[in-house]
Chain A
């Protein structure tokens, strides 16, 4: 009788050992990626391999690969395996800060990550897995796009696109890291995300690279000029953040995901904090200058109010008159809006509007309550602003805010003027508003308003400038926020030093609403 288990001293080889050996051999081919030369080329160009990237991204030893045996095999005449060239995409699951996340990473060492040696099913599988099992998705993109050689391989052409590449962004957080030249589908995979980051010098993102651009438009341009960090994190805003290194990019991914729930059916999670809810910062009582022409540093205010070390800025270099951040208040994750008076006076430009729309939609989708530190001088003016449809973009931003269903709290810290002065919270529900004593507001600023309404009066005065100043002084008496509060048109005026304590109290109410908030959001068309 055959004995399967070794009960005595002799140890027998398992029945399936030859197959297990083949399995391990096949796995070893996967581990080798595109071979030593390809790996060396990748390192020489200052890049990690896709497997090193996955190790850097995930908690130690937590990665579980899916489809490791996928590749192009070669057999001898007896059908014995010689080798397997692995597919150009590695997918699987792993843990980020203990939470399960799906990853899809192109292997640039295999045919430059091209679709020529990828199984399209593999990429789609990863996306479907994230979607159906409600886990966040991280795309590590390093791919030159489609290859003409695919035509030869398939002996035909096809209509572009894969099912599943437009995964529903309303269900799970999707994060993309550009880690090389990302063209075509690769670029799309970077852009179609809730948060994207690219690494300076090694990452470029474009619809098509310089070799396609040159014959198409006769434009000679380097790939860095065409799609590097300068153009996309600063000028276009197509990618949210820049990273100084791949490690920095992975740290930003981990950081971003730490604020979000794994899917829309769950609430964001509170983290313990050592920062006291009662912390009162003296500097807040003096941080806004009395001289209205002098700006201040809004990021400093946010650092003083929110939990220490909890702020994570998104899109710093684009639409910079508006600041968008994730942060924590007494451990609870929140989305933060603030104006930056140092840039365009903090006004609502078309890029600031786009930034608000993208950020507020993301916060609303994942139930992050929003705190707005509002200092809005108005919609950007001038011919350049008009040519960018700035007013319509501002109205769109207003609609995005109004359609948001998350709890919302606004602190009026200085100005609120014009059309944009009304764009600070969802207007159709009980409002949570506080003003600092430095706040002032109106449909029109007094200085310009006086000149428009009293033009003839001023011009006919013996001393027009003196008359103008007299009128300005007269109207300024009405501008104190206390007069607005008398009429209950501003509910609360507070000592700025109480801001943190007020927020720590409010955030408990905000998170108590989570059972109503979780689930998929629907939104109507905006103009």
Chain B
């Protein structure tokens, strides 16, 4: 199984964690939701897989291109 880094395209604050490590997700499912520019922006799975690790917690500020989770595909 290959590991894929899930990166945020934008900067923002982690609003909520949508899935836990170990969860099975489909492509485009929200992994975490960021609050940015007064909106709730999902960071989504790039492919079907299993979430190996979530690297941020609620309230964290993430930068553009920061890896927020690891997905096993």
Question: Is B54's beta carbon under 8 Å from chain A?
Answer: no
Task: Supply 17 further A-B pairs (C-beta < 8 A) apart from A293-B38, A377-B37.
Answer: A294-B39, A294-B40, A295-B39, A295-B42, A342-B41, A343-B9, A343-B10, A344-B10, A344-B36, A344-B37, A345-B37, A345-B38, A345-B39, A345-B41, A346-B37, A377-B38, A445-B38
* Contact-size category for B: under 10
How far is it, in angstroms, between the C-alpha of A345 and the C-alpha of B40 when the chains are bound? 9
Q: Chain B interface secondary structure, helix, strand, loop or mixed?
A: strand
17 contacts between A and B (CB under 8 A): A293-B38, A293-B39, A293-B40, A294-B39, A295-B41, A342-B41, A342-B42, A343-B9, A343-B10, A344-B10, A344-B36, A344-B37, A345-B36, A345-B37, A345-B38, A347-B37, A377-B37
Shortest Cβ distance from A384 into B: residue: B11
A82-99 near B? 1/0 per residue, CB < 8 Å: 000000000000000000
- Give chain B residues whose Cβ lies under 8 Å from the Cβ of A343: 9-10, 41
Cα distance, A347 to B11, chains bound together (Å): 13
Interchain nearest-CB distance for B45 vs A (Å): 15
Q: What are the residues of chain A within 8 A of B10 when measuring CB–CB?
A: 343-344
Q: Please give me the residue from chain B that is nearest to A234 by CB atom.
A: B65
Q: Please indicate the chain B residues that have their CB under 8 angstroms from the CB of A341 in the complex.
A: 39, 41
A102 to B67, CA, bound (A): 45
Q: Which residues of B contact A345 (CB under 8 A)?
A: 36-39, 41
What class of interface size applies to chain A in its complex with B? 10 to 19
For A342, the chain B residues whose CB sits under 8 A away are 9, 41-42
Contacts of B37 in A (CB 8 A): 344-347, 377
Assembly CA distance A439 to B42 (angstroms): 22
Give the distance in Å from the alpha carbon of A341 to the alpha carbon of B40 in the complex.
10
Provide the residues of chain A in CB contact with B39, threshold 8 Å.
Answer: 293-295, 341, 345
Binding site for B on A (CB under 8 A): 293-295, 320, 341-347, 377, 445, 447
Which of chain B's residues have a CB closer than 8 A to the CB of A320? 9
Interface flags, B11-48, vs A, CB<8A=1, else 0: 00000000000000000000000001111111000000
For A445, what are the chain B residues with a Cβ–Cβ distance below 8 Å?
38
A362 vs B13: C-alpha distance when bound (angstroms) = 37
For the complex formed, measure the closest distance between the CB of B5 and the CB atoms of chain A, giving whole angstroms: 14
B16 to chain A, nearest CB (A): 12
- Residues of A contacting B40 in the complex (Cβ-Cβ under 8 angstroms): 293-295
Closest CB of chain A to B48's CB: distance in Å?
19
User: What separation, in Å, do the CA atoms of A447 and B41 have in the docked complex?
Assistant: 19
CA distance A344 to B35 in the complex (A): 10
* Bound form: Cα–Cα A344–B41 in Å: 9
Most B CB contacts (10 A, CB to CB) among A341, A344, A347 go to: A344
Q: Contact flags (1/0) for B31-73 with A, using CB distance below 8 Å? A: 0000011111110000000000000000000000000000000
Q: Which residue of A lies closest to B40 (CB)?
A: A293
Residue of B nearest to A297 (CB): B28
A255 vs B26: C-alpha distance in the bound complex, in angstroms? 32
Pairs A-B, 5 closest by C-beta atoms: A345-B37, A293-B40, A345-B39, A295-B39, A293-B39
Closest CB in chain A relative to B6 CB, distance in Å: 15
Which residues of B lie under 8 Å from residue A346 when comparing CB positions? 37
In Å, the complex CA distance between A341 and B36 comes to 10
Question: Once bound together, how far apart are the Cα atoms of A158 and B46, in whole Å?
Answer: 52
